[in-house]
Amino acid sequence: MKTLKRFARNKKAISGLETAIVLIAFVIVASAFAYAVLNMGFLATQKSQQVVLGGLAAASSALVVDGPVYGYSTAPGPTGNITSIIFWLKTASAASSVDLNVNKTTVGFQNPRGVWPNIYNTGGSALSYTVGTTTYTVAEGGATSIVWEVGTGFQLMPGQKVRVTVTLSALTTAPDNTAGNIMKNEEFKVIIKPPVGSVLEIDRYAPAAVDTVNDLG
């Protein structure tokens, strides 16, 4: 009788040990699963942050005009026209740097007589574009030059400034060799597309009487 009771007590001890082992196994499995879930959550949060920051960088402006836009004329007067424009650029407050390399950034121009998608060309053969039935041409060497006034290189950094010169007399449409010039009271646009950030659009009007130097605002 005593032997049976001892056996019963031993059996209860074994059942308790098995239960403890099962509980430990559950805890280990639950811990591993929780770690995997937390790890995926952190990864998803990091990816979401990268997407948000990338969206903000693409939507925000990378370049701003620093100062007025000037128009110059080689034939001023009531019937004169503007043959070149000059303005200055710097990085926007939220931009770290902007790559102004000719292969990264494009500069476009349009007036009532034409649209030139890219007039930023530092050399080589002339650039030609056909839109509909009209051919637009940029003279060899390009119509836009960018000169660093503060800083050097092609990366425009915060605190640096560049001077942009657009030679309108180099823009033509067949057969009009003065199509790029800006006549009095005309609206024109310079469209600068950096590799990152929103497009900078400079929209101005020529004065009613063109002087040698014109402050276009």
Q: Which H or E run contains 114? A: strand 114-116
pLDDT score for 81: 93
- Residue 109 corresponds to which amino acid? F
Phi first, then psi, for residue 106 (nearest 5°) are -115, 150
What is this structure's pTM? 0.68
List residues bridging with 130 in a β-sheet: 135
Residue-wise pLDDT tens digits, 151-205: 887 889 999 999 999 999 888 877 777 889 999 999 999 999 998 888 999 999 9
- The rounded distance, in Å, linking the Cα atoms of 5 and 11 is 10
